Structure 1
Amino acid sequence: MSSIQRTGNNPTVSIVIVCMNNLKNLYPCLNSIKQYTTVSYETLVVAYLFSKENLEQVKRDFPWATFIESDEIRGFSENNNLALSQAKGKYCFVLNDDTEMKMPVIDRLIISFEKTPDCSIISPISYFPDGRLQSCGRPKHTVWTWFLRTMRIYNEQEVKSPYIHGKGIFQTYNLVGAFFLIPTDLFKELGWFDERYFFCPEDIALSTKANRLGYKLYVDSEVEIIHNEGGTWSRMLTATQPASLRGTLIFYSENKMRKYLILGIWAWIINLIWLIVSSFAFLMRASEKNKIRVLCKYHNLQSIFTHKSTKEIFIRYYAKLKK
C-alpha cells in the first residue's frame, strides 16, 4: 500500500517526524518507511527551520508525505504537537528523523499492540548503527536515579529492573520518545507532549503520567529499529543542554519550590565541578569539543535559578549561535 491509501476515511497510523533542516537524516528515514510499511498510513513531517531549497527538494522527492512548515523557534514537544493535532490515524507513531527501519516496524508493532489486551503504548528496541544495543525498555526514573546520573554512575540499561531487557512483548515503565506507537485518542487524552519541556524530559513526563493513570507500556523485543543518536558534537548542545537541565529540574521538583531549590543547588554544584574540569581540559587541549563542554556547563549554571521557561533559555543561547 502507498501512504495515501486509507482504511475508510482515515489511515491506520499517522507517522509523525520532526526534522530540523537535516536531509541527511530525513532521507533514509522516509525511504525506510516507504520500503517496510504496508498498513495504510500518512506521514506528517514537521519541517523545522528548513531552508527554502531543502523544503522544495523534499516536497519534490517525497510527494506522498505531508510537510508542515515550522519557521519559529519551537521545542521537540511543541513541534510534534503541531503535527499530532492534525493526525487522522487510529494510531500515532512518533519517530525521530535520525532513525531507520530494516524491518516492518510499524506493521509488527500494531500486531503486537492488538494482541496484548492491556497494552496502551508500545515501542521497539533500538540499536546504534554499529550494531550495539541502545535501548530495550526503560526503568522508572526518580529523583534518586537523576542524582546518580548527575554523578555519571547510572546507566538505565545496566540496572536491575523488570522493565528492561525482557523477551518478546514485556512491560516497561518509560517509553523512548524517539519511537513509539500509541492510539491517537489516548495520546489526545494525555494532552499530547507537555510543552513545558523544550528538549527533554518530555518522554519521561508522558510515561509517568500514563503510568499514574493506570495505563501500561510495553516493548516488543523482536521489533528493532536503528537510531543514530548522539553521533555529533555541535554547538547546538550549548542551547539544548541548559534547556534540558531546566526542564529536568521542573519535572523532578513537581512544582514544589523547596524541592526545586534543593535539586537546583545540587545541579549547580555538579555543573560547577564539571565546568572546572572542562575548563582545565580545554586549557590542556583547545579543541572544539572541549570548548562546547565548557560552554554547556557555563550555560547550565546560568539556567538553574531563573524564572525563564525552557524555551526562553534555548532562544537565549541559540541567538548567540546565530551571531
Structure 2
Amino acid sequence: MDLSIIIVNYCTYDLTKNTLISLLDTIKEIDYEIIVVDNASPDDSLEKLVDDFGNEELIQFIRSDINGGFAYANNIGFSKSCGDYILLLNSDVVVKEETINASLDYIKKHENIGALGCKVSLPDGSLDKACRRSFPTFKVSFYRMTGLSKLFPNSKRFNQYNLSYMDDNGTYPIDCIVGAYMLIPRKIFIECDGLDESYFMYGEDIELCYNIKELGYDVVYYGSHEVIHYKGGSGKNKKLLYAFHKSMAIFYDKHYKKEDNFLINIITHLSIWTLYYLKLIISHL
C-alpha cells in the first residue's frame, strides 16, 4: 500500500467529517487507507462519523480508551497502518486538489527526504506560520519573543523562527514542518520510534523533525501545493495552553539545556512560564 493517512479525532465531528470528505474527493489513483483514531471523545462524534462513513472500505475507525494526547493517538494509528508512507493529518484540515498526490510523488522521487510538509493556509488565505520553522534555540526564540522578528520580517537574522523572508510557494529544506500535514516514509517513522508521547499536544512535531534530521534526512517545505487549516478546531482551553508551554520546556531541556549555560537555562524557563501566566491572565480578562 502506498499511503496510510492518520487522523486524530477529539470532539471534532464537523471538522473531521470535512477532512474525510476532502480526502475522498481529492486523492486519485493511489492505494491508500485512512485511519481515524478517536482520543476518548466524551461526545458522540465517533459514532456520528461511523454512521456517515462506516460503509467506506478505505476508512478504519479506532477508539482509544484514554485521551493520551496527540502523539499517543497517532502512534496507535501507526500501529494499525500498513502504508509505505505515513501522512499525519489534523482533523481540522481540508485538503486541496492534487496536494496529496503531488506530495507523495515528490517524496518518492527524493529518497533523502525524511518528512515533507506542504503550504498550510488559514481560512482567510494567510499563511499558517507554523508550517515552516527553525528549531527554537535560545537565540531564535529571543528574536521572536522580543518582537524583533515582527519588526524585521524580511531579515534572515531576526526571523529565523517563522522564515517569513522565504517564498511561501517555494520548495526548500528547513528545520521543522507542522504536524497538521506531515508526510513521512514508514521506515523513517520507525527509525524515530514514532512520536514522542512525553508531549501531550504541541511540540511532538518539532521533536520528530529534530530526530529525523539527527538521522541525516532532510525536512522539506513543499509550498507549491496547499491545505487549509481551520486552526484550533479542537478548542482552546487552559489545559492546551499549559500543554503548549510545557512542550516548549520539554524540547528545550531535551536538546539545548546541556549546551547552554546556567543563566541561559534560567532565562529560558522564566520566559516560557512568564509567557504562560501572562496568557492565562489575558484569557481571564
TM-score relative to the length of structure 1: 0.74
Q: Is the 8 A contact 1:124 1:222 kept in 2?
A: yes
Q: Shift in Å at residue 51 of structure 1? A: 4.3
Matched with 1:178 is 180
Q: Is the 8 A contact 2:119 2:169 kept in 1?
A: no
With over 3 angstroms needed to count, the CA separation of the structure-2 counterparts of 1:98 and 1:80, relative to structure 1, is same
Note the 1:24-103 alignment, pairs <5 A: 24-38=14-28, 39-51=30-42, 53-63=44-54, 64=56, 65-103=59-97
Q: Shift in Å at residue 33 of structure 1? A: 0.3
1:152-171 per-residue CA deviation (whole Å, 9 max, x = no partner) reads 55469865268942654322
Residue type at the aligned position of 2:245: L
Residue type at the aligned position of 1:131: G
Q: Is the 8 A contact 1:150 1:270 kept in 2?
A: no
Gaps of 5+ in 2: none
C-alpha distance in 2 between matches for 1:108 and 1:165: 19
TM-score relative to the length of structure 2: 0.83
With over 3 angstroms needed to count, the CA separation of the structure-2 counterparts of 1:164 and 1:66, relative to structure 1, is farther
Q: Shift in Å at residue 278 of structure 1? A: 6.8
Matched with 1:130 is 124
Matched with 1:246 is 246
With over 3 angstroms needed to count, the CA separation of the structure-2 counterparts of 1:20 and 1:168, relative to structure 1, is same
Note the 1:1-323 alignment, pairs <5 A: 11-38=1-28, 39-51=30-42, 53-63=44-54, 64=56, 65-135=59-129, 137-154=132-149, 160=156, 164-165=166-167, 168-230=170-232, 234=236, 236=237, 238-254=238-254, 256=257, 262-264=264-266, 266-268=268-270, 271-272=273-274, 275=277, 279=281, 290-291=283-284
Residue type at the aligned position of 1:81: N
Q: Is the 8 A contact 2:137 2:252 kept in 1?
A: yes
Counterpart secondary structure, 1:45: strand
Larger radius of gyration: 1
The 10-residue stretch of structure 1 (215-224 or 53-62) with the greater mean CA deviation from structure 2: 53-62
C-alpha distance in 2 between matches for 1:270 and 1:113: 35
Q: Shift in Å at residue 24 of structure 1? A: 1.9
Q: Shift in Å at residue 132 of structure 1? A: 1.2
C-alpha distance in 2 between matches for 1:34 and 1:73: 27
Q: Is the 8 A contact 2:176 2:219 kept in 1?
A: yes
With over 3 angstroms needed to count, the CA separation of the structure-2 counterparts of 1:264 and 1:45, relative to structure 1, is farther
Matched with 1:305 is none
C-alpha distance in 2 between matches for 1:273 and 1:52: 32
Q: More relative contact order in 1 or in 2 (CA 8 Å, sep 6+)?
A: 2
Matched with 1:311 is none
Counterpart secondary structure, 2:213: helix
RMSD: 3.0
Q: Is the 8 A contact 1:18 1:45 kept in 2?
A: yes
Q: Is the 8 A contact 1:112 1:169 kept in 2?
A: no
With over 3 angstroms needed to count, the CA separation of the structure-2 counterparts of 1:147 and 1:20, relative to structure 1, is same
C-alpha distance in 1 between matches for 2:72 and 2:101: 27
Q: Is the 8 A contact 2:121 2:127 kept in 1?
A: yes
Gaps of 5+ in 1: 1-10, 282-289, 294-323
